[in-house]
């Protein structure tokens, strides 16, 4: 998969809904009901971060949920990419971008949303062919004002900002012409998952899915 093909695939996923849930799942038993609740609320693209021992099994389980498009977040190494693809991930998300990671995703045919937090990083990825990028850590790296400033010199690049984003500030990002969606964990709070309160997850997802974007 070429960088251009990866960017097209990543952009299509980012256009599915204004919010991509960023999920840290400890127990694989919650994977299917959590995915179903989010999809029912209108958020089909699901980023399962590789931050728990259960993450790959969670991806494998969520990949079977009808209507869901499951990806692996926090990709750091070639091994991460191979394992995520084998588990059924349809896209990958990384906090930054290294040569090895990019090549691994290209070799495995895994659509990649590579991370950038500066103009130079965004330009380097664009030079390689990645027009769809993750902006991380969004709030700490300059927030919506920074992305607005990038929209003029880098109009070819679209972003999915992630990091410190909540219902309160998501609209600031989604109103920008170079933002297709945001990543956020508020739609799947730990207490609701622990309690099996899937109706609450669906309610939060529906609110996020209704957010307007430019």
Residue 134 annotated to the active site: yes
Catalytic entry in 36, 47, 85, 106: 47
The strand ranges marked E within the chain are 19-23, 45-49, 69-73, 91-93, 111-113, 115-116, 132-135, 158-161, 182-184
Catalytic entry in 103, 108, 134, 139: 134
Please work out, in degrees rounded to the nearest 5, the angle formed at the alpha carbon of residue 7 by the alpha carbons of 168 and 24.
45
Query: How is residue 182 annotated by DSSP?
Result: E
Residue with tokens 């389980």: 61
Helix (H, G, I), strand (E, B) or coil at 21: strand
Phi/psi at 159 (5° precision): -125, 155
How are strands ordered across the β-sheet holding 158-161?
Answer: 115-116, 132-135, 158-161
Between helix 55-62 and helix 78-87 the angle, nearest 10°, is 40
Residue 57 annotated to the active site: no
Q: Could you give the residue numbers annotated as active site? A: 47, 134
């Amino acid at each position: 998969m070429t960088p251009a093909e990866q960017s097209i695939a990543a952009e299509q996923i980012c256009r599915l809904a204004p919010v991509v849930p960023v999920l840290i799942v400890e127990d694989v038993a919650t994977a299917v009901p959590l995915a179903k609740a989010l999809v029912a609320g209108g958020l089909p693209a699901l980023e399962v971060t590789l931050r728990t021992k259960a993450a790959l099994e969670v991806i494998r389980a969520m990949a079977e949920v009808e209507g869901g498009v499951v990806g692996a977040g926090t990709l750091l190494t070639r091994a991460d990419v191979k394992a995520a693809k084998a588990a059924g991930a349809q896209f990958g998300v990384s906090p930054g971008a290294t040569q090895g990671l990019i090549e691994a995703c290209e070799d495995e045919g895994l659509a990649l949303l590579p991370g950038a937090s500066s103009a130079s990083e965004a330009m380097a990825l664009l030079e390689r062919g990645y027009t769809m990028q993750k902006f991380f850590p969004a709030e700490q790296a300059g927030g919506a004002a920074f992305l607005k400033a990038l929209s003029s010199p880098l109009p070819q690049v679209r972003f999915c900002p992630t990091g410190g984003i909540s219902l309160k500030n998501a609209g600031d990002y989604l109103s920008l012409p170079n933002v297709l969606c945001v990543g956020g964990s508020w739609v799947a709070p730990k207490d609701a998952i622990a309690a099996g309160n899937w109706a609450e997850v669906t309610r939060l997802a529906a609110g996020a899915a209704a957010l307007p974007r430019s």
